[in-house]
Amino acid sequence: MSQLPVVEIRRREEFCAAHRLHAPNLSDGENLALYGPCNTLHGHNYSVEATVRGPVEPGTGMVMNLTDLMRLLQELLIGEVDHKYLNTDVPFLADVIPTAENLAVAFWNRLQPQIETFKGCQLTRIRLYESQNNVAEYCGLTTP
Ligand code: NI
């Protein structure tokens, strides 16, 4: 069997949501000192990018159909978080401080099992833009 090129594809979706950063184990004063203005309720225009790696199937010329990736992002992520208050309104973010880092990890955990159902495909990166300049990326690494 001839070797197939392995390519990464990426889909980007956008959502708007409100949050505040507040660590439950800290006092109100400590939270204000740590998070500053982010301790107050505010919102972001977020973007999320999911990168999927897999072989280019000769019969279709695709790794996976980007329409399927778009649908997964919409159903599993955007539909759950768009125009929501992330601290209280999203079941899969319960007990999560909604930083960009934690959102990237939570999105990965939700999306990754579904990507694996597509032949040869693996999720390699979630990139979460809180703003144009503030970005968190997760690629599945954990501490030893
Ligand atoms: Ni914020």
pLDDT digits (tens, 9 = 90+) for 39-90: 999 999 999 999 999 999 999 999 999 999 999 999 999 999 999 999 999 9
Give residue 59 CA to ligand 1 midpoint distance, Å.
44
CATH number assigned to the domain covering 6-138: 3.30.479.10
What pLDDT is stored for residue 2 in this prediction? 85
Q: Is-contact 98 87, C-beta < 8 A?
A: yes
How do the domains of the chain map onto residue ranges?
Answer: 6-138
Average pLDDT of the residues in 94-112: 97
Residue indicated by tokens 């159909």: 65
* pLDDT, tens digit (0-9, with 9 covering 90-100), for 120-141: 999 999 999 999 999 999 999 9
User: Model's pTM, two decimal places?
Assistant: 0.96
Give residue 32 CA to ligand 1 midpoint distance, Å.
13
The DSSP letter of residue 57 is B
